[in-house]
Amino acid sequence: MLQLARRMSRAKPSAIMMVAEKAKRLKAAGRDIISFSIGVPNFLPGDHVYAAARDALAKDSGQYGSNRGSDALLDAFLKHIEQVGLTGYTKANCATGIGAKHVIYNICEALLDEGDTITFPTPYWTSYVDIAEILDAKIDLLPCPAEQDYKLTPAQLDAALAKKPRVFLFNNPSNPTGMVYTKAEIDALADVVAKYPDTWVITDDIYNRMVFDDVGYHNFVNARPELRDRVIFIDSLSKTYGMPGWRVGFMAGPEVVAQAVTTMNSNHITNIPEIVTAAAVAALSGPQDVPSAKCVEFQGKRDQVMAALTAIPGVVCPKPHGAFYAFPDISVAFGKTHQPTGLAIGNDIDFCSALLEAKGVACVPGSAFGEPRALRISYTCPTPQLAPGLARIQEFFAELA
């Protein structure tokens, strides 16, 4: 029988998508499902974005575009990142891709040879592991449990970088935990990074506009400008602008890395489509009222989620200050049984499966993110569904014994 390449034995479909698909199937079968599973922002971009796309359609050039990204898009991105203190970059430092996931994939492929080590904190965004596994990189996980607010400490980073990994991958604000590193925390981690010049740093900061409580967004390059020679900043339109399906992601970093991503693009995607590019420019440069309003809305939803979770005995949830996720430790439920259904809960997967079965609430098991004591709640559902969904989770806990 004809075989697939060996790397396909390491490739697996996204665990998050699998939960979302199951929730969709149950809904289609007539069940009343509230989905806290998939990490979509659940809003649409402003009218000016659609107007720009329609205009581009009317003026379609019929040509291929730039492998790196159009000049207009790169200029808009450069202005955008200046607002978070990333100044002095030029178009040669930037590249685009079909979403941040694609950009991260390209960068990992450009930086990691088979057997090279990539290190990152747990809990992690699932695709980091999936991408590293496809590339046959060694993964060095840095456990950051709820007891340390799911945050990496300078001592942990120091020990990890002393082993000279090729890549340190960082994510701030975090999916799945919603944690946001303070300025002091970023400064301390940047001091450690500065000690180890042999490691590339990818900082996946696609939620940088979704930060609450005046914590602010900070990054390693703000903290130590000399790190720009090896720090690669990742951004995306998906979450900030309500455009996940438009598929636009970015990087800013060393020219050699931006060129590598551009070369990779030339060998698979060629370019981001012209109409999408026009919409992306409009999103980045036009009125920012939609993303700003959504950030305020998400902060309010975060408060609702925290109020519901802290009322459940034994559940611990470090308070998220950004993105749109909460990541409660629900291990208090392990070893119990859901009395009305008789479903036994041995672990996070049992928990999520029983919760979906019994109460029609879909969450993603924490083991998908490397933390099997927790589950992820993505709270961007329509506002009228949030309170009932949270009430069902509370009921579910009350019915365990």
Closest to ligand PLP by CB, 39 or 253: 39
Neighbours of 47 (CB within 10 A): 12
Compute the least distance from the CB of residue 325 to ligand PLP, in Å: 9
Compute the least distance from the CB of residue 336 to ligand PLP, in Å: 31
* Residue 46 in tokens: 């402003």
- Binding segment for ligand PLP (CB under 6 A), chosen from 70-78, 99-107, 181-189, 342-350, is 99-107
Closest to ligand PLP by CB, 101 or 359: 101
Dihedral sign, Cα of residue 376, residue 382, residue 387, residue 393: negative
Compute the least distance from the CB of residue 283 to ligand PLP, in Å: 13
Compute the least distance from the CB of residue 128 to ligand PLP, in Å: 8
Determine if 320 is a binding residue for ligand PLP (CB under 6 A): no
- Binding segment for ligand PLP (CB under 6 A), chosen from 98-106, 186-194, 258-266, 271-279, is 98-106
How many residues sit in the footprint of ligand PLP (CB under 6 A)?
Answer: 13
Determine if 175 is a binding residue for ligand PLP (CB under 6 A): yes
Compute the least distance from the CB of residue 349 to ligand PLP, in Å: 20
The residue with tokens 């695709």 is: 127
Closest to ligand PLP by CB, 371 or 397: 371
Q: What phi, psi does 365 have (nearest 5°)?
A: -60, 140
CA distance linking residue 165 with residue 354, whole number of Å: 40
Rounded alpha-carbon distances, angstroms, from residue 383 to 53, 302, 305: 29, 12, 12
Q: Are strands 325-326 and 375-378 parallel, antiparallel or unpaired?
A: antiparallel
* Contact (CB, 8 A) for 133 and 10: yes
> What x/- string results for residues 105 through 144 when contact with ligand PLP is judged by CB under 6 A?
--------------------x-------------------
Determine if 20 is a binding residue for ligand PLP (CB under 6 A): no
Say which residues have a Cβ less than 8 Å from residue 401's Cβ, sequence separation at least 6.
Answer: 336, 337, 339
* Residue 51 in tokens: 């107007």
**Residue 263 CB-density burial (10 A; 0-12 exposed, 13-18 middle, 19+ buried):** middle
> What x/- string results for residues 149 through 168 when contact with ligand PLP is judged by CB under 6 A?
--------------------
> What x/- string results for residues 234 through 273 when contact with ligand PLP is judged by CB under 6 A?
--x-x-----x----x------------------------
Determine if 100 is a binding residue for ligand PLP (CB under 6 A): yes
Answer for which of 101, 209, 338, 376 binds ligand PLP (CB under 6 A) is 101
Q: What phi, psi does 392 have (nearest 5°)?
A: -65, -35
* Residue 270 in tokens: 């060629």
Closest to ligand PLP by CB, 35 or 236: 236
Compute the least distance from the CB of residue 195 to ligand PLP, in Å: 26
Smallest Cα–Cα separation from 308: which of 240, 361, 349? Answer: 361
* Residue 395 in tokens: 């009921």
* Residue 41 in tokens: 């922002």
The two most distant CA atoms of the chain are separated, in Å, by: 65
Footprint of ligand PLP on 196-225 (CB under 6 A): 204, 206
Footprint of ligand PLP on 35-64 (CB under 6 A): 39
Task: Taking each helix axis as running N to C, give the angle between helix 383-398 and helix 289-310, from 0 to 180 degrees, rounded to the nearest 10.
Answer: 20
Determine if 233 is a binding residue for ligand PLP (CB under 6 A): no
Name the residue type at position 10: R
- Binding segment for ligand PLP (CB under 6 A), chosen from 94-102, 178-186, 187-195, 373-381, is 94-102
Helix (H, G, I), strand (E, B) or coil at 154: helix
* Residue 342 in tokens: 């008789």
Closest to ligand PLP by CB, 225 or 244: 244
Closest to ligand PLP by CB, 100 or 377: 100
Residue ranges binding ligand PLP (CB under 6 A): 39, 99-101, 125, 171, 175, 204, 206, 236, 238, 244, 249
